[in-house]
Amino acid sequence: MLNLATETDIERLRQAALLLEQENVRLFRRLENLVAELAEARGEDARSLQLEIEILKEQLANRTKALFGDSSERRSCAEHKTDERKEPRRGHGPREQKVLPIVEVIHELDEPDQACPSCGGDLQPIAGQFEEADEIDVVERSFRVVRHKRQKYRCRCGAGIETALGPDKLVPGGRYSIDFAVDVAIAKFADHLPLERQVRQMARDGLDVDSSTLWEQTWFLSQHLLPTYEANHAHVLSADVIAVDETWWRLMKKGGSKRWWVWSVAREDAVSYRLLSSRSTDAARTVLDGYTGVAICDGYKVYDVLAREREGSDLALAHCWVHVRRKFVEAEPFYPEAGHVVERIGQLYAIEAEAKRASPEERLARLAALRAKQSKPVIDEIRTLLMTQRALPRSSLGKAIAYTSGLWPGLVRFLGDPKIPLDTNGVERALRGVVVGRKNHYGSRSERGTRVAALFYSLIESAKLCGVEPRAYLREATLRAVRNPGTATLARDLKSQES
Higher pLDDT, 82 or 490: 490
Q: For 123-132, what is the mean pLDDT?
A: 88
pLDDT of residue 44: 55
Is pLDDT above 60 for 394?
A: yes
Q: What percent of the chain has pLDDT over 90?
A: 57
406, 395, 386, 399: which is closest to 299 by C-alpha? 406
Cα-based distances in Å from 151 to 89, 148, 283: 63, 9, 54
DSSP code per residue over 348-363: HHHHHHHHTTS-TTTH
d(CA 442, CA 435): 10
pLDDT of residue 41: 65
Which helix (H) or strand (E) covers residue 387, if one does?
helix 376-388
Q: For 455-484, what is the mean pLDDT?
A: 96
> Using the 8-state DSSP alphabet, how is residue 444 labeled?
B
The per-residue pLDDT of the chain, averaged, comes to 86
pLDDT of residue 201: 94
C-beta of residue 472 within 8 angstroms of C-beta of residue 214? no
pLDDT of residue 313: 72
d(CA 215, CA 207): 16
Q: For 165-194, what is the mean pLDDT?
A: 94
What is residue 206's three-state secondary structure?
A: coil
Which of 49-53, 133-137, 397-401 is predicted with the least confidence, judged by mean pLDDT?
49-53
The residue ranges of every structural domain in the chain are 150-310+438-499, 321-423
Type of residue at 94 = P
Give pLDDT tens digits for 332-375: 988 889 999 999 999 999 999 999 888 888 999 999 999 999 99
Give pLDDT tens digits for 416-461: 999 999 999 999 999 999 999 999 988 898 999 999 999 999 999 9
Q: For 85-111, what is the mean pLDDT?
A: 77
Task: Classify residue 155 by burial, with Cβ atoms within 10 Å: 0-12, 13-18, 19+.
Answer: exposed
pLDDT of residue 78: 45
Is pLDDT above 90 for 36?
A: no
pLDDT of residue 160: 84
Q: What percent of the chain has pLDDT over 70?
A: 84
Give pLDDT tens digits for 194-250: 999 999 999 999 999 999 999 999 999 999 999 999 999 999 999 999 999 999 999
Q: How confident is the model at residue 113 (pLDDT cuts 50, 70, 90)?
A: confident
266, 260, 220, 218: which is closest to 241 by C-alpha? 266
pLDDT of residue 80: 46
d(CA 435, CA 438): 5
Is pLDDT above 70 for 401?
A: yes
What is residue 272's three-state secondary structure?
A: strand
Question: pTM value?
Answer: 0.81
The pairing of beta strand 293-297 with beta strand 241-253? parallel
d(CA 44, CA 455): 63
Secondary structure E strands in 156-240: 161-163
- Kindly report each contact of residues 317-321 with a partner whose C-beta sits within 8 Å and lies 24 or more positions away, as own/partner: 317/410, 317/413, 318/241, 318/294, 318/410, 318/411, 318/413, 318/414, 318/420, 319/407, 319/410, 319/411, 319/413, 320/296, 320/422, 320/423, 320/424, 321/345, 321/348, 321/411, 321/422, 321/423
Is pLDDT above 80 for 29?
A: no
Q: For 394-421, what is the mean pLDDT?
A: 94
Q: How confident is the model at residue 2 (pLDDT cuts 50, 70, 90)?
A: very low
Higher pLDDT, 32 or 307: 307
Give pLDDT tens digits for 305-323: 998 887 767 899 999 999 9
C-beta of residue 287 within 8 angstroms of C-beta of residue 274? yes
pLDDT of residue 341: 95
pLDDT of residue 81: 47
Give pLDDT tens digits for 293-306: 999 999 999 999 99
Q: How confident is the model at residue 120 (pLDDT cuts 50, 70, 90)?
A: confident
480, 453, 459: which is closest to 219 by C-alpha? 453
Higher pLDDT, 78 or 277: 277
Which of 269-278, 385-394, 485-494 is predicted with the least confidence, judged by mean pLDDT?
385-394
Task: Classify residue 291 by burial, with Cβ atoms within 10 Å: 0-12, 13-18, 19+.
Answer: buried
Q: How confident is the model at residue 22 (pLDDT cuts 50, 70, 90)?
A: confident
- 49 Cβ contact list (under 8 Å, min separation 6): 35, 36, 38, 39
> Using the 8-state DSSP alphabet, how is residue 375 labeled?
I
> Using the 8-state DSSP alphabet, how is residue 313 labeled?
S
Q: How many other C-beta atoms can be found within 10 angstroms of the C-beta atom of residue 374?
A: 14
d(CA 378, CA 357): 21
Angle at 454 between CA 438 and CA 282, to 5 degrees: 100
Is pLDDT above 70 for 38?
A: no
d(CA 298, CA 301): 9
Is pLDDT above 80 for 402?
A: yes
Q: How confident is the model at residue 52 (pLDDT cuts 50, 70, 90)?
A: low
The angle that helices 447-466 and 211-237 make with each other, rounded to 10 degrees, is 60
